[in-house]
Amino acid sequence: MLIRFIFENFGSFKDRSEFSMVASKVARHPAHVMEFAKKRILRSSFVFGANAGGKTSFFRALEFAVDIVRKGIRHVDCSGRNFRLCNKPSDNGMFQFDFIADGHVYSYGFVVSYSTVSIIAEWLYLCDDAKNNICIFNRENVKNKICVQTGIAEPIIDTNWWDFYKKDFVGGDNSQTLVLGDLALRSAENNGIVEHVLSVTKWFRRFTLISPEQIYNGGLYLRGDEAAKAKLESYLRHFDTGITKIVLKDVDYDDVAKKLPSYIRDDIQHGFKKMPDGLRDRITASVSNDKVAYFFSPGKGKVHIRAQQLMFEHGFKTRLFERREESDGTRRLLDILPLLITLESGAIVVIDEIDRSLHTKATTEFIKQFLEQDNRLGSQLIATTHDGEVLDLDLLRQDEIWFVERGDDYVSRLFPLTKFKVRFDMSVKKDYLLGRYGALPIFGRLGELEP
């Protein structure tokens, strides 16, 4: 689970910013706190602020850093990511994650050069003992040369193997390669370092990040998982969408294929042709947008590819509705409700503008449904929002509430509600709208806009 995210020089954030999931001494809502490795960690946090205040920059900083770990910096857009509204913009961005994985506490981070699209520093520490952190590896550039060191000694590590690895990594063109990802590829080596590296890389796969314009593809599980499908139908009824049943309707693949871009059509056809027989019953492809969703699977007999369209019943079995016919709010719920099922599996879900197109009661109910879940696997929900109704201490703890504000210098700054020492019986929403905590839009006079 995430303990802390620290970043610097990204988007509207110029200075070092720290976002913490560490629980304070607040006594209310004890079920919102998890205890692991002698640490008290929050299950959720919510970031409030004005439009253009920095909420999306915060979300994108998380997304950018996670994508570099998962995909590699070669496959991530680095252009224009730094803070540029100053005389001498810095070229380097720093990102660090402190977290718990497989029972250990880790601190992993890296520094990137946006202009050269390269890694200029990287580190991984084992922090189980707060007074004696162990350096698993530390990578830095010294006189334009990569230098990699470890603080782990024999017998935990084979020094001959490590010396060979360092020589091999430093000798290659690895300015765009993370040591973390490179070591993970050498998982056949049982040297003590790789075990930690695999735990860390597995932890980064737990992230699910959803932007406002993104269609969450969690509906993939709808085919073949009747229990998950029934649970989602139950959520849709609970949220009063009018949908009574989810239906996957068989449609003609050739008709659907004509509507698909050629590269998607080719990927589906070639992928299913080359698929081993043992996987044919387990693999599904999907294509979706805000209007329609299709699922594809290997056909049987003369049917090469089976196509199904996602449809919805509203009380009448003979009358089905497409996604495009549902309201904006229902389509948004179709995107985020599957996340409640994802959160049951130990995920870390980050949503930018969780309240988009939703009634305020639907937003707060979604949060309640998550917080009422059994959370033995350590799931966490982090979201940005404009919805003042979420600023309710009957719903959240004080330490689950964060604000982001853009100053007169155009720099965004992130700070927690606990900075203000708010009592549990105060109206946080009222004080926020009165401007006590900042992070509100400031409107200029219309006369100032006249030529």
HEC string of the chain equals: CEEEEEEECECCECCCEEEECECCCCCCCHHHEEEECCEEEECEEEEECCCCCCHHHHHHHHHHHHHHHHHCHHHCCCCCCCCCCCCCCCCEEEEEEEEEECCEEEEEEEEEECCCCEEEEEEEEECCCCCCCEEEEEEEEECCEEEEECCCCCCCCCHHHHHHHHHHHHHCCCCCCCHHHHHHCCCCCCCCHHHHHHHHHHHHCCEEEECCCCCCHHHHHHCCCHHHHHHHHHHHHHCCCCCCEEEEEEECHHHHHCCCCHHHHHHHHHHHHCCCHHHCCCCCEEEECCCCEEEEEECCCCCCEEEEEEEEECCCCCCEECHHHCCHHHHHHHHHHHHHHHHCCCCEEEECCCCCCCCHHHHHHHHHHHHCCCCCCCCEEEEEECCHHHCCCCCCCHHHEEEEEECCCCCEEEEEHHHHCCCCCCCHHHHHHCCCCCCCCCCCCHHHHCC
326-367 pLDDT, tens digit per residue, is: 999 998 898 888 888 888 888 999 999 999 889 999 999 999
pLDDT digits (tens, 9 = 90+) for 116-148: 999 999 999 999 987 889 999 999 988 778 999
* Share of residues in the chain with pLDDT > 90 (%): 57
**105-120 mean pLDDT:** 96
- When pLDDT is cut at 50, 70 and 90, the band that residue 446 belongs to is very low
Q: State pTM to two decimals.
A: 0.89
pLDDT at 10: 98
Mean pLDDT calculated for residue range 268-290: 75
Instruction: Kindly tell me if the per-residue pLDDT of 451 is higher than 70.
Output: no
Predicted pLDDT at 251: 93
Query: 189: pLDDT confidence band, cut at 50, 70 and 90?
Result: low
Q: Which of 248-257, 277-286, 300-309, 374-383 has the lowest mean pLDDT?
A: 277-286
- Beta-bridged to residue 39, according to DSSP, are 36
What does the pLDDT look like over 9-36, one tens digit per residue?
A: 999 999 999 999 999 999 899 999 999 8
How high is the mean pLDDT of the chain? 88
Predicted confidence (pLDDT) per residue in 53-71, tens digit: 999 999 999 999 999 999 9
pLDDT (tens digit, 9 = 90+) per residue, 83-92?
A: 999 999 999 9
- Sketch out the chain's domains with CATH numbers: 1-206+347-451 (3.40.50), 215-345 (no CATH)
pLDDT greater at residue 287 or residue 243: 243
